[in-house]
Structure 1
Amino acid sequence: MKTIKVMDTTLRDAHQSLWATRMTTAMMLPVAERMDRIGYDAIDLMGLIQFDVAVRYLKEDPWQRVKLMRGKVVHTPMQSSIRSKSLTGFDVVPNDVLLLWCERLIANGLKRVRAFDALADLDNIVHILEHAKSLGAYTVGALVYGHSPVHTDELYARKTKELIERAEVDSIMLKDACGLLTPDRIRTLVPAMKNVMGDVPLELHSHCLTGLAPLVYLDGVKLGVDQVHTSTAPLANGPAQPATQTIARNLRGMGYRVDLDDRLIDEVSAHFRRVAEQEGKPLGVPMEYDAFHFEHQVPGGMLTNFHFQLAQAGLGDKLDAVLHECAQIRRELGWPIMVTPFAQLVGTQAVLNVVQGERYRIVPDEVKKYALGYYGKLLAPVEPDVLDRIVENGSRRIALEPEPMPPAVPELRRKYPNMSDEERLLRYSFAGTQVDEMLAAGPTRTEYHFQTPIAKLVSELAKRPKFKYVHIQKGDTRVDLVG
């Protein structure tokens, strides 16, 4: 009986997909020790957006989150993710900054390092994976799945073989960030990849944006997938990963072994359900199949932003036009996969094209940089007439050929002499006073308190000015509210 391993995504991708990455450290810590005992192969904790949201919106030190979690999760490896040549923003950063970032992730307890490049330009990530491996980390080479004429089974087999040979990764991850995998495609893609992998394990990661991910997982396991990425309901389904509870039950029913403690999973599930209720956060629900998703491929979070931003501008009726424009821009730009930063640059260009009424009249800097190869080698060329318009209308400050970036760490250490490398990296990544504001907010909260029913009732009543007098009594406890 084959054992199928499970990576938990509840603390990273699940709340990134469902709660706009707004899960605080205090929400995580009460169940961290139980999650450590569940039996996960690994816990996915930190990507670059977790650093970004922690500093800018939650006013929490993300490095402190890592340390606090490491103090409670002592048996299960925790994972971090590195995106190509960038950190928290879209800009390419010097190589020595990336390597220092990798070092500090590992030193702070994230002993599993995953790196990916959405262009499948492995020159952007091989050296990072090699560096992580030299520091004792378990390394995961991730290949981002794309649905296009250039993202063939042969391409993925070739890139898989190259990652294993060049970086000697410990595992390969098939990363379907846009939820585009189908049962038909998985039946040809997984065998093609497994055929060149030898004993290297294959991980499968998808999102439920078309409702097909749970079935894709089950078919993938039949074909040789060794580990699946799931999240704990209620932070599952919708734009997030399939539910751990459902996938485990189905795999066991198919004759596979899944060594997870179901009772502890239920306790973690109950905790996050209460958090969602108290914070007004959405719960994941299954998505209906939408064939149009395979054309525009816009991630769920961006769809929500499109709805909001267009409505705010009085252009709510333009959403379908923007989505069709996204599909056309992808074709013209050589089929970029709709993940950060390419989803944002395609989406921004689509909105500009629709609103301006003239395509590529305004060109964001990121679009010009993409077309000129700043982010890496493209799998397919940009259409010549479109490239001409991008070069002509884009910023003149952007050179036609990217220049090598000089090292930045020595200057960073000179600029901030009495500071840890962790804080230096934050100050490098966040402009202005954002890090100072985060530090001024004080230490990271470590306790999360649920309101008692009476406290919740009083809080809700206080929001309703139409009540002039409220009397509440239970036993010897009496509360009077006078408006």
Structure 2
Amino acid sequence: MHSVLFMVSFILVNLLLSFFLTEYLAKSPQEDPNVQPPKGFRQIYKEQGPEAFAKAVRNHKGLLLMDTTFRDAHQSLLATRVRTHDLLKISPFVTHTFSQLYSMENWGGATFDVALRFLHECPWERLEEMRKLIPNIPFQMLLRGANAVGYTNYPDNVVYKFCELAVQTGMDVFRVFDSLNYLPNLIVGMEAAGKAGGIVEAAISYSGDVSNPNKKKYDLNYYLKIADELVKAGTHVLAIKDMAGLLKPTAARMLIGALRDKYPDLPIHIHTHDTSGNGIASMLACAEAGADVVDVAVDSMSGLTSQPSMGAIVASLQGTPLDTGFKLPKISEYSAYWEQTRTLYAPFECTTTMKSGNADVYTNEIPGGQYTNLQFQAYSLGLGDFFEDVKKAYAEANQLLGDIIKVTPSSKVVGDLAQFMVQNKLKPQDVLDKAEELSFPKSVVEFLQGHIGQPYGGFPEPLRSKVLRDMPRIEGRPGETLAPLDFTKLKQDLTETFPNITDRDVMSAALYPQVTNEYLVFNEKYGPVDKLDTRIFLVGPKVGEEFECTIEKGKTLGIKTLAVAEDLTENGEREVFFELNGTLRSVLILDKDAGKEMQIHPKADKANKKQVGAPMPGTVIDIRVKPGDKIEKGTPLVILSAMKMETVVQSPVAGVIKSVDATLNMKLDAEDLIVTME
């Protein structure tokens, strides 16, 4: 009875929400398409080059702003789920109103992966369409150094080709960083962006607290030494990437003041997250200490794990020598659009558990861009009620790994280990004591092998030796030994299945092979779903509802859902009846929920060393053994995957495989039986 009432109330709320959004979202600010937008910093870059752009930024009077609303703000608050459809609606207003932005961050980071994986959109088309509507403001992306926009190292020619295509499609400023501040990886990204003709903004990822003498690992001297190397490597702009919001006002004055004294002619750009609630104070301190640019998000998409409020920064500096020149009424219009649009993405909100700023970030050091995704991972692993435990374990996992710089992909390593610890009820000492028999997440093993680079201060011992045993280790830059990718062969292979493949699709496949393949299959079957309104895309139309979909200029489809058949076909499909521009049609749709069968998988007996169970819920994506195989302790048995977290399940003992009790693509719960030995 309780569940029925809950569903009734849930449906009523959604009906009211749908009505509100339908009536209200159409009132987004509009601009006359015949009026040319004002010139911005992009004209300087395109006409005179990156060096002239950097000089103009440094000579500018007043604080410059980068708007993160189109990228990091929704990555941090809404699990990167904002669609191109909603970004394009507001783009004309932005180009006319905010022409004096230093840049707009609208690409890179997790947006590339999520666009393909969850939104069924081409990230290249997103960039291209935004460029058409916003010709005057520099676009900025986040480039993970030698990782490009992926989670691993790629051959150097992949990173170079990616940057080349990005500039051709409309990208301008490349904020290049490395997840460990490992200079060889970072410099590969800088050189790739520079060779492509982009503006290179080399970023130092910030951790620790330079104002706290007790935190000695990442002190002021550490940051100044890295800055020296980045300046020598030819960066046009120097950035501090405070991905977790750890840069306190006092530390900001110390760090930015020291950098400004050392490099009086170099533009300095500061990025932070407002997780603790300290972000506005810290950014104002940076500006006063000599920073040229700070990151902000429009008010209704700011705060918490996002960036500090644009309106608050603008208002604080009005009438001062650092006045930004922006007008609060226009910011309010911009904010109103996002306030309305944000309600569409309620299921992805970080505010599910985080209702206010939380200073515990100074303890757990979780990056703002990871926080929401970590929540979703926790729920998918059955740890939704233990998220506070996951946050505490995150700090413990970081110390176990040697107190590393934490930003994608190194932050994923820490997050995966933290959830692994909570899932298996492990304390830090348990991890150290049982390291030789535990099946650690794949990301943790690969980090310890050196797959993402060398951490400052070295790898943690004896943990590394215990986990890796006789596994291979990588010394130096991981991508240095990788053979160049054969793009011609990759395109030929893809063309066999997808005849209309483009070079941009090939590039996506080079970075995310499986995800891109799934996107291309989906796109061939269903077409460009980015043209659908967001509510329709996320939840589908209601029976009897009429809606329109403009697939190109002058071509609008009118669609009305009429009925859904009650009976299933033999293939588990339902017939759906609808009108398309007044013509009656029907299609068969697979009903995935109705087709599910209850399957009870046997659990492993923990007391029986001959049975190996799943250490976490997940899908079996690889099986490495077969019955009759003689194996040693630590031999990989299967690989499980859940929400981009992969775990290699290893044998806790030596023996002979009696049976493999899991199949490829089987979905398992924690402790489900995988292998039996004899």
* Same topology, TM > 0.5: yes
2:223 equivalent to 1:156? yes
CA distance in 2, matches of 1:238, 1:111: 28
Task: Show the counterpart of 1:472.
Answer: none
Shift of 1:379: 0.6
Shift of 1:125: 2.4
Task: Show the counterpart of 1:372.
Answer: 449
Unaligned runs of at least 5 residues, structure 1: 460-483
Whether the 8 Å CA contact 1:94–1:408 is kept in 2: the answer is: yes
Q: 1:362 aligns with which of 430, 439, 449?
A: 439
CA distance in 2, matches of 1:273, 1:426: 32
- Name the amino acid aligned to 1:178: A
Q: 1:260 to 1:351 in 2, by over 3 A?
A: same
2:317 equivalent to 1:256? no
Q: 1:386 aligns with which of 456, 463, 469?
A: 463
2:401 equivalent to 1:333? yes
Q: 2:313 aligns with which of 243, 247, 250?
A: 247
2:445 equivalent to 1:445? no
Task: Show the counterpart of 1:470.
Answer: none
Whether the 8 Å CA contact 2:280–2:308 is kept in 1: the answer is: yes
Task: Show the counterpart of 2:520.
Answer: 436
Q: 1:30 aligns with which of 84, 89, 101?
A: 89
CA distance in 1, matches of 2:203, 2:474: 30
Task: Show the counterpart of 2:343.
Answer: 277
Whether the 8 Å CA contact 1:161–1:197 is kept in 2: the answer is: no
Shift of 1:315: 5.2
Task: Show the counterpart of 1:473.
Answer: none
Identity within the alignment, %: 26
Task: Show the counterpart of 1:46.
Answer: 107
Shift of 1:255: 3.7
Unaligned runs of at least 5 residues, structure 2: 1-59, 209-214, 546-678
Whether the 8 Å CA contact 1:7–1:229 is kept in 2: the answer is: yes
Task: Show the counterpart of 1:287.
Answer: 356
Shift of 1:349: 1.4
- Name the amino acid aligned to 2:217: V
CA distance in 1, matches of 2:91, 2:74: 15
Q: 2:301 is paired with a residue of what secondary structure? A: coil
Q: 1:425 aligns with which of 507, 513, 519?
A: 507
CA distance in 1, matches of 2:116, 2:86: 16
Larger radius of gyration: 2
Aligned length: 450
Task: Show the counterpart of 2:193.
Answer: 132
CA distance in 1, matches of 2:371, 2:119: 23
CA distance in 1, matches of 2:147, 2:534: 36
Q: 1:186 to 1:141 in 2, by over 3 A?
A: same
Q: 1:233 to 1:413 in 2, by over 3 A?
A: same
Shift of 1:116: 0.5
CA distance in 2, matches of 1:413, 1:288: 47
CA distance in 2, matches of 1:206, 1:289: 15
Q: 1:261 to 1:93 in 2, by over 3 A?
A: same
Shift of 1:343: 1.6
Whether the 8 Å CA contact 1:81–1:115 is kept in 2: the answer is: yes
Q: 1:211 aligns with which of 277, 288, 291?
A: 277
Shift of 1:316: 5.7
CA distance in 2, matches of 1:62, 1:306: 23
Q: 1:101 to 1:213 in 2, by over 3 A?
A: same
- Name the amino acid aligned to 1:10: T
Shift of 1:445: 3.3
Shift of 1:175: 0.7
- Name the amino acid aligned to 1:276: R
Q: 1:197 to 1:434 in 2, by over 3 A?
A: farther
Shift of 1:344: 1.6
Whether the 8 Å CA contact 1:177–1:207 is kept in 2: the answer is: yes
Shift of 1:305: 5.3
Q: 1:267 aligns with which of 302, 312, 333?
A: 333
2:235 equivalent to 1:169? yes
2:203 equivalent to 1:142? yes
Shift of 1:4: 0.9
CA distance in 2, matches of 1:9, 1:305: 18
Whether the 8 Å CA contact 1:326–1:347 is kept in 2: the answer is: yes
Q: 2:255 aligns with which of 189, 198, 213?
A: 189
Q: 1:437 to 1:149 in 2, by over 3 A?
A: farther
Whether the 8 Å CA contact 1:427–1:435 is kept in 2: the answer is: no
Shift of 1:154: 0.9
2:484 equivalent to 1:407? yes
CA distance in 2, matches of 1:89, 1:438: 21
CA distance in 2, matches of 1:377, 1:256: 40
Q: 1:446 to 1:261 in 2, by over 3 A?
A: farther
- Name the amino acid aligned to 1:336: I
Task: Show the counterpart of 1:481.
Answer: none
Task: Show the counterpart of 1:342.
Answer: 410
Shift of 1:151: 1.6
Q: 1:378 to 1:254 in 2, by over 3 A?
A: same
2:173 equivalent to 1:112? yes
Task: Show the counterpart of 1:221.
Answer: 287
Once the two structures are overlaid, the 10-residue window that deviates more, 382-391 or 125-134, is 125-134
CA distance in 2, matches of 1:314, 1:334: 28
Q: 1:85 to 1:136 in 2, by over 3 A?
A: closer
Once the two structures are overlaid, the 10-residue window that deviates more, 320-329 or 222-231, is 320-329
CA distance in 2, matches of 1:297, 1:350: 13
Q: 1:363 to 1:79 in 2, by over 3 A?
A: same
Structure 1 runs of 4+ off > 4 angstroms?
Answer: 281-286, 300-321, 396-403, 446-451
Give the RMSD, CA atoms, in angstroms.
Answer: 2.8
CA distance in 2, matches of 1:75, 1:63: 19
So what's the TM-score if we normalise by structure 1?
Answer: 0.85
Q: 1:324 to 1:149 in 2, by over 3 A?
A: farther
Whether the 8 Å CA contact 2:128–2:170 is kept in 1: the answer is: yes
Task: Show the counterpart of 1:95.
Answer: 156
Q: 1:283 to 1:388 in 2, by over 3 A?
A: closer
Deviation track 1:74-123 (CA, whole Å, cap 9, x = no partner) reads 11111122102224442211111011011111010102112101211121
Whether the 8 Å CA contact 2:69–2:297 is kept in 1: the answer is: yes
Aligned counterparts, 1:293-308, within 5 A: 293-300=361-368, 302-304=370-372
CA distance in 2, matches of 1:397, 1:421: 37
Shift of 1:447: 7.4
Q: 1:353 aligns with which of 413, 418, 421?
A: 421
So what's the TM-score if we normalise by structure 2?
Answer: 0.62
CA distance in 1, matches of 2:228, 2:403: 22
CA distance in 1, matches of 2:403, 2:528: 44
CA distance in 2, matches of 1:183, 1:173: 17
Once the two structures are overlaid, the 10-residue window that deviates more, 65-74 or 415-424, is 415-424
CA distance in 2, matches of 1:268, 1:320: 34
Task: Show the counterpart of 2:656.
Answer: none
The higher relative CO (CA closer than 8 Å, separation ≥ 6) is in 1
